[in-house]
Amino acid sequence: MNNVQREVKNLTKNMSLGEIASIYPGAINTFMDLEIDFCCGGNRPLEEALEEANLNTNEILASIQNQYQKEVEQGSDMKDFKDFSKIKLIDYIIETHHEYLRKNLPRIESLTETIFRVHGDNHYEMLDFVNTNVKALKKELEAHLEKEETILFPKVEEYENGQLNKEALEKTIEELENEHDAAGDILKGLRKITHGYTVPAGTCNTFVFAFEKLEELEKDLFQHIHLENNILFKL
C-alpha cells in the first residue's frame, strides 16, 4: 500500500477547465452541477467559463481547492490520470468507458423507446426529441468506439514507440475531437429539453429509470471525453 501523501497543487483561475479536472478529478462533479462544459470546452480558462455563466470565480475556485485539499488529507484514492502512460490510459478508457457504453447504450435506447411509446401522447415534443437523439447518439458512438480501437489507439501506440510522426496522429485526433463535439452537443440538447432530466408528474417508474440512465450516460461520456481531449490527446 502506498502511504505517501499526494502533493496538493495550487489551482488557479487561469488554468483551463481540462487542466483542473486532470489535476483534481473531483472538480468534474462541480463542473457538471454548474453545467460547465469541461470536456469539449476544456481548453477554456476557469475564469472565462465561470464569468460566461455569471458565476463567482473566486468562490467556486476556493470551494474546489478546499475539496481537493480535504480529499488528499483524508487519503482519498484519487486516480491521477496525468501520471498514466498513454498505453495505460488507453487500457483504462477501453475497460471502463467503452465497456460501459457497449453495455448501456442498447438498454438506454430500449428505455427511451418505451417511454416514448407509453407517454408520447402527453409529452410528445420532449420524448420525440429524446428518442430520436438517443438513437443518433448510439449509432454515432458505436462507430466512434470502433474507430478509436482500430485506428486512433493503435496510432497513439505507434507514436509512443516512435513509429509515427506527430502530424499524422494530430490529423486523426482532430477528426475524433470533432466527433466528441457532436456527441457533446447531443447531450447538451437532451439536458436542455428534459430540463435537467426532470421527470414529469404522473409518469411511471420506467420514465424515472430512463432519465436516471440518461444522466448516468451523460456523466460517463463527459468523463470519457475529458480523459481523451484533455489528457490522452495532449502530445
Rounded Cα distance between 31 and 200, Å, is 25
Predicted TM-score (pTM) of this structure = 0.86
Q: In this structure, are residues 147 and 155 in contact, taking their beta carbons and an 8 Å threshold? A: no
Q: Which residues contact 217 (CB under 8 A, 6 or more apart)?
A: 104, 105, 108, 187
- Cell (9 digits) for 88: 495505460
**150-199: pLDDT as tens digits:** 999 999 999 999 999 999 999 999 999 999 999 999 999 999 999 999 99
Domains and their CATH numbers in the chain: 17-73 (no CATH), 84-232 (1.20.120)
Task: Using only the alpha carbons of the chain, give its radius of gyration.
Answer: 19
**74-88: pLDDT as tens digits:** 877 677 788 899 999
